[in-house]
């Protein structure tokens, strides 16, 4: 089923109805940010803006949705008419996709009449939170595997269709080489990878028959899955196969390992291949991998050229959700502050000013009111991307986003590049004016 305008929390509609009855159409500012970084993340990577803007541009209510709301009862005719003519007319400021960010830094800001800015909350978060989650996870695998090929293998255990597709996009953006998911490759123009499963080997009368049939069907540097029965025995038989194939001009591309002690198998397989003069064959590994296991394998000097990362990537298994929220920061020109215990927000429309050090690395982020002067040497991270509900410019190509992200990773200080929690985490400074505004609002009656 396709996401509809009703892919939203029901309370958005009950609130919207009340706003309309009260005539509360004043401009509201909502910001999307992460309240705190989980200990397993030293930085986050903004992603999903492209699909968020698509959502805002395309959101509309059809007869089916209006009819369902009518049947729920309790909604005003005014609300139903309002939804029938819905077109998002707001303004969006956002960090470019691929940008590194930290706790309390807005990555996206909506300025729109209150009913509009309110209504889009649930799906905006749903889109931006997930891609940010996956891009942030993927960037860690890229750090763990410098110079290695990384491929998204996660579709089957991703949380549904959209998760699989978005995970392929978000991981590519963060430096993966491509994906095994065909539709993601088609839709986003990603390099696609994939050879054979164990079932292919099993279906054949023998492993060597399976390998030969596959290589003749896919003669362009085929990669063979060698662990269905006995990894080393399978590889020991490859020189003979390589010889038969060479006679027909077919060169094997490599082997894939998917079980057991990957480091030990990789060493044994590499030796067997090298001894047989098959130095050009690569060794690719998969099977419950994540950035931690990849780092361990490479620390153990396992001769592995590439990794398929599946479930742990597409579900961000160690951190399956971020504390991402979308909060009202100002209404009708007045800053607002939620003060719930442990969930207080910084009020007002804000900007993030970033300063790099002489070494080109992140030095200082300031979260400040939008109209504050930028500290010397700082650049603003949030840029206007939509006005009147229309994009200000065509979205950058995904490869441009990927290049921007790679440049951003070049600014990540050494202390934040490890997989373990940084001893000295990076936190943005909250500007003095912003702190004063918060104190002022706290002192006001409610």
Tell me which residues in 213-252 interact with a copy of itself (CB under 8 A).
213-214, 216-220, 227-230
Tell me the backbone φ, ψ of residue 193, rounded to 5 degrees. Answer: -130, 155
Footprint on residues 265-324 left by a copy of itself (CB under 8 A): 311, 315-317, 320-322, 324
Q: In which element (H, E) is residue 26 found?
A: none
DSSP string, 106-158: -SEEEEEEHHHHHHTHHHHHHHHHHHHHHHHHHHHHHHHSTTSEEEE--GGGS
- We find the least distance from the C-beta atom of residue 442 to a copy of itself, in angstroms, to be 9
x-marked contacts with a copy of itself along 386-425 as a string, rule CB under 8 A: ----------------------------------------
Cβ neighbours around 246 below 10 Å, total: 11
Among 39, 58, 62, 68, binds a copy of itself (CB under 8 A): 68
- We find the least distance from the C-beta atom of residue 356 to a copy of itself, in angstroms, to be 32
Q: Are 297 and 262 in contact (CB under 8 A)?
A: yes
Listed in sequence order, the DSSP H helices in 195-330 are 198-203, 207-217, 231-236, 238-246, 262-275, 291-299, 311-314
Binding range to a copy of itself, per CB under 8 A, among 70-78, 94-102, 393-401, 403-411: 70-78
Q: How far apart are CA 218 and CA 212, in angstroms?
A: 10
Footprint on residues 119-178 left by a copy of itself (CB under 8 A): 121-123, 125-127, 129-130, 133, 153, 155-166
Q: How far apart are CA 99 and CA 107, in angstroms?
A: 9
Nearer to a copy of itself, 94 or 381 (CB): 94
x-marked contacts with a copy of itself along 343-372 as a string, rule CB under 8 A: x-----------------------------
- We find the least distance from the C-beta atom of residue 101 to a copy of itself, in angstroms, to be 17
Q: Does 338 bind a copy of itself (CB under 8 A)?
A: yes
User: Which residues are bridge partners to 379 per DSSP?
Assistant: 354
| Token pair belonging to 427 | 């936190």
| Token pair belonging to 386 | 């939509």
Nearer to a copy of itself, 197 or 400 (CB): 197
Footprint on residues 374-393 left by a copy of itself (CB under 8 A): none
Among 336, 364, 387, 391, binds a copy of itself (CB under 8 A): 336
Q: What SS3 class is residue 369?
A: strand
- We find the least distance from the C-beta atom of residue 96 to a copy of itself, in angstroms, to be 22
- We find the least distance from the C-beta atom of residue 158 to a copy of itself, in angstroms, to be 6
Q: Are 347 and 329 in contact (CB under 8 A)?
A: yes
Listed in sequence order, the DSSP H helices in 31-76 are 49-58, 63-72
- We find the least distance from the C-beta atom of residue 75 to a copy of itself, in angstroms, to be 9
- We find the least distance from the C-beta atom of residue 381 to a copy of itself, in angstroms, to be 23
Q: How far apart are CA 232 and CA 241, in angstroms?
A: 15
Q: Does 77 bind a copy of itself (CB under 8 A)?
A: no
What are the CA-CA distances from residue 187 to residues 51, 128, 167, 190 (Å)? Answer: 13, 18, 13, 8
Footprint on residues 189-218 left by a copy of itself (CB under 8 A): 192-200, 202-203, 206-207, 213-214, 216-218
| Token pair belonging to 194 | 């994939």
- Beta carbons within 8 Å of 132's beta carbon, 6+ residues apart: 34, 44, 45, 46, 47, 48, 107, 170, 322, 324
- We find the least distance from the C-beta atom of residue 155 to a copy of itself, in angstroms, to be 5
Nearer to a copy of itself, 297 or 416 (CB): 297
Nearer to a copy of itself, 10 or 435 (CB): 10
Which residue bears the tokens 């970084």?
37
- Beta carbons within 8 Å of 397's beta carbon, 6+ residues apart: none
Binding range to a copy of itself, per CB under 8 A, among 1-9, 291-299, 371-379, 428-436: 1-9
Cβ neighbours around 24 below 10 Å, total: 17
Nearer to a copy of itself, 226 or 416 (CB): 226
Q: How many residues bind a copy of itself (CB under 8 A)?
A: 109
- We find the least distance from the C-beta atom of residue 373 to a copy of itself, in angstroms, to be 28
| Token pair belonging to 399 | 């490869």
Q: Does 328 bind a copy of itself (CB under 8 A)?
A: yes
- We find the least distance from the C-beta atom of residue 168 to a copy of itself, in angstroms, to be 11
């Amino acid at each position: 089923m396709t996401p509809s305008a009703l892919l939203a929390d029901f309370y958005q509609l009950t609130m919207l109805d009340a706003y309309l009855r009260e005539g509360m159409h004043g401009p509201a500012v909502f910001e999307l940010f992460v309240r705190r970084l989980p200990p397993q993340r030293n930085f986050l990577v903004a992603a999903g803006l492209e699909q968020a803007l698509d959502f805002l541009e395309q959101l509309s209510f059809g007869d089916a949705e209006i009819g369902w709301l009518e049947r729920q009862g309790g909604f005003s005719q005014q609300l139903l008419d309002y939804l029938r003519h819905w077109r998002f007319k707001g303004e969006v400021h956002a960090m470019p996709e691929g940008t590194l960010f930290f706790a309390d830094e807005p990555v996206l800001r909506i300025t729109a009449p209150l009913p509009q800015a309110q209504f889009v909350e649930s799906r905006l978060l749903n889109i931006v939170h997930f891609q940010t989650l996956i891009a942030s996870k993927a960037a860690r695998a890229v750090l763990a595997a410098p110079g290695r090929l990384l491929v998204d293998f996660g579709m089957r255990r991703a949380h549904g269709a959209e998760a699989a597709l978005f995970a392929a996009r978000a991981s590519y953006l963060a430096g993966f080489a491509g994906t095994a998911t065909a539709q993601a490759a088609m839709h986003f123009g990603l390099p696609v990878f994939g050879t054979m499963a164990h079932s292919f080997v099993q279906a054949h009368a023998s492993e060597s028959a399976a390998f030969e049939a596959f290589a003749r069907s896919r003669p362009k540097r085929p990669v063979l899955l060698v662990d269905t029965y006995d990894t080393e025995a399978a590889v020991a038989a490859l020189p003979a196969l390589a010889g038969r194939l060479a006679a027909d001009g077919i060169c094997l591309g490599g082997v894939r390992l998917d079980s057991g002690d990957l480091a030990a198998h990789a060493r044994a397989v590499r030796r067997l291949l090298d001894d047989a003069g098959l130095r050009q064959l690569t060794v690719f590994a998969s099977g419950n991998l994540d950035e931690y296991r990849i780092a361990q394998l490479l620390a153990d000097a396992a001769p592995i050229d590439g990794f398929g990362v599946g479930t742990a990537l597409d579900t961000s298994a160690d951190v399956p959700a971020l504390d991402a929220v979308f909060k009202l920061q100002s209404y009708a020109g007045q800053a607002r502050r939620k003060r719930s215990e442990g969930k207080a927000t910084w009020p007002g429309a804000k900007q993030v000013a970033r300063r790099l050090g002489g070494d080109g690395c992140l030095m200082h982020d300031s979260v400040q009111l939008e109209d504050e002067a930028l500290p010397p040497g700082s650049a603003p991270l949030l840029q206007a991307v939509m006005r009147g509900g229309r994009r200000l410019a065509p979205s950058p190509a995904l490869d441009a986003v990927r290049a921007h992200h790679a440049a951003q990773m070049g600014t990540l200080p050494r202390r934040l590049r490890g997989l373990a929690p940084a001893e000295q985490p990076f936190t943005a400074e909250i500007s003095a004016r912003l702190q004063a505004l918060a104190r002022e609002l706290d002192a006001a009656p409610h």
